[in-house]
Amino acid sequence: MALRSATLNVMMKAARQAGVRLKRDYGEVDQLQVSRKGPADFVTAADTRTEKILKNELQRARPDFGFLMEEAGHAVGKDGARRWIIDPIDGTSNFVHGIAHFAMSIALEDQGEIVAGLVFDPINELMFVAEKGQGAYLNERRLRVSSRLRMADSLFATGIPFLGRGEAPDHERFLKEMGAIMAVSAGIRRFGSASLDLAYVAAGRFEGFWETGLQPWDIAAGILLVREAGGLVTEIDGGAKMLQSGSIVAANPAVHGPLREAILRARG
C-alpha cells in the first residue's frame, strides 16, 4: 500500500502480536472440543488476554488515547478526542466451536469520527486496513466493493438473532427480512463475525450486509473499510448513527438502496 501512517503501523503491530497468541489459543480450543467441560472458560480467558495485549501495545505507543472495549468497557484518556474501539474476538461462537472464522477489530475514533480501522483474521492471515481518505487494503492490495448491479446477482451477509439476543418480535421481524431478501437475491450467508462480514463487503466478496443489535466494536472498523472501498453504509432506516443504534446496512453503491428498501418493505 502507498503511504501508511505511523498510527496504522501501531495498530498493525499490535494486531500481529495479539494474533500470534490468539492463533495458539485457537489450536487449544480445537483440542478442548472433545472434552466434557468444553472450552467456554478457556475462551473467556483468550478474549481477555487478546484484549490486554492489544490495549498494552496501543497504550504504549499512544499513552493519552482512551478506549472502548468489549471486555473491559470504557477507559477515558487524557486526550479527550481520540479513543480506540476494540473487539478482541469478533466471532466468539465460531472460536468456541472450532470454526476458523473470527477476527480482531480495532478502530480509531477522533472526535466521534472513525479515522482508521483494522480487521485481522489471524488464522487465514487476512489483514484488512483502512484510513480515512487513503483507501482500504487487504494485505497491501487495494480493495474495491463489488461492481454487481443487480439484486438477483448479489450475495448478502447478515446476522441471525439467537437465544438471548433480541426478543421474540425481533426474531419474527428478522424472518420477514430474510424471506424478502431470499426471494430477490443470489443468496444469504451467516458467517458469524460482523467485522469480517463488513471486510468482505469492502473486498467485493459480498455485495452487501445487514444486521441489527450490534455493538460499536463489532462495526466501527468495518464501516471505514467499506466506505474507503467505495461502498455505502447507513442504518437500515437511512440514518448515520450506526454506532449508537447498532443497525446497519452496508453495500456497493448500486445495491445499497434496493437492499435497504427491500428490508424496510418486509418490515411493513
Q: Which DSSP state fits 161? A: -
In the complex with Ca ion, the residue whose CB is nearer, 130 or 196, is 196
Q: What angle (nearest 5°) sits at the alpha carbon of residue 232, between those of residues 117 and 139? A: 35
Is 117 a residue that touches ligand IPD (CB under 6 A)?
Answer: no
C-alpha cell at 123: 488464522
Binding mask 210-239 for ligand IPD (x = CB under 6 A): -x-xx---x---------------------
Tell me the one-letter amino acid at 123: I
Question: Is 47 one of the catalytic residues?
Answer: no
Maximum CA pair distance of the chain? 51
Please pick, among 70, 109, 121, 177, the residue that the annotation labels catalytic.
70
Closest CB 208 distance from Ca ion, rounded Å: 19
Question: Is 64 one of the catalytic residues?
Answer: no
Place of cell 466494536: 217
Count of residues of this chain found to bind ligand IPD when the rule CB under 6 A is applied: 13
Binding mask 172-211 for ligand IPD (x = CB under 6 A): --------------------xxx----------------x
The Cα 52–Cα 36 span in angstroms is 28
The Cα 182–Cα 173 span in angstroms is 14
The Cα 123–Cα 23 span in angstroms is 6
In the complex with ligand IPD, the residue whose CB is nearer, 7 or 42, is 42
Is 92 a residue that touches ligand IPD (CB under 6 A)?
Answer: yes
Would you name the residues annotated as active-site residues?
70, 87, 89-90, 92, 218
